[in-house]
A and B are shown apart, each in its own frame.
Chain A
Amino acid sequence: DSGVTQTPKHLITATGQRVTLRCSPRSGDLSVYWYQQSLDQGLQFLIQYYNGEERAKGNILERFSAQQFPDLHSELNLSSLELGDSALYFCASSSLLGLGDTQYFGPGTRLTVL
């Protein structure tokens, strides 16, 4: 158990809909990272937050947004969903700011868009 929790574990929805994925980092970790893993694209870095502020952006679509709240939990919002958004979404946390430190991964949320 990494100490990172993600909810829900599974999510099935329809095209055009909007969903919110939630992540609670390990106790004391200030950095939260979001990743997408799809069959055709592999694992991709989406975005990083540190202590409530956005710090790094990867291949995140404009239809996607994220935030980190004062209690350090983070939410990833996916809107106008398309079939290609079906993927595993992982959240990870670390204690430090840089991407060079050890990251602890959550179990992931499997999103299926029908």
Chain B
Amino acid sequence: KNEVEQSPQNLTAQEGEFITINCSYSVGISALHWLQQHPGGGIVSLFMLSSGKKKHGRLIATINIQEKHSSLHITASHPRDSAVYICAVRGYGGATNKLIFGTGTLLAVQP
């Protein structure tokens, strides 16, 4: 079992829909990142969370440390949101400086 699991693996939505991507992890963490990778390959860091909730434009990220779970929400989705969304966690102790990545969620937003 992977230490970082994302669901769903693939997601197709209609423009305007509210989208949720989930990330669950099995290790203790000090921070969680959400990344976006566009079809051309470029990666953009969207959020870094250690607790609570962060919002940037139409994107909202939440984390529940006790439940070891994070969600990325996209409101009023648009075709330009089509990308792979990757969750990554930073551990504690011996794994403090290692980032562990999920396998990503491929999102396609249709007009």
- A interface residues with partner B (beta carbon < 8 Å): 2, 42-45, 48, 55-58, 88, 90, 92, 98-105, 107-108, 110
Contact = CB atoms under 8 A, between A and B. Distances in A.
B42 interface: yes
Interface residues of B, number: 23
Interface of B: 30-31, 33, 35, 41-45, 48, 50, 86, 88, 90, 96-104
Contacts of B42: 105, 107-108
Contact of B97 (A2, A42, A55, A105): A55
Given A58-B99, A107-B42, A108-B42, A100 B86 contact: no
- Which 9 interchain pairs have the tightest Cβ spacing? A56-B97, A100-B31, A105-B43, A43-B101, A45-B99, A99-B90, A58-B98, A42-B103, A103-B45
B105 to A, nearest CB: 12
A65 to B, nearest CB: 18
Given A100-B31, A101-B48, A102-B48, A45 B98 contact: yes
A110 B45 CA distance: 20
Contacts of A58: 98-99
B41 A107 contact: yes
A56 B100 CA distance: 13
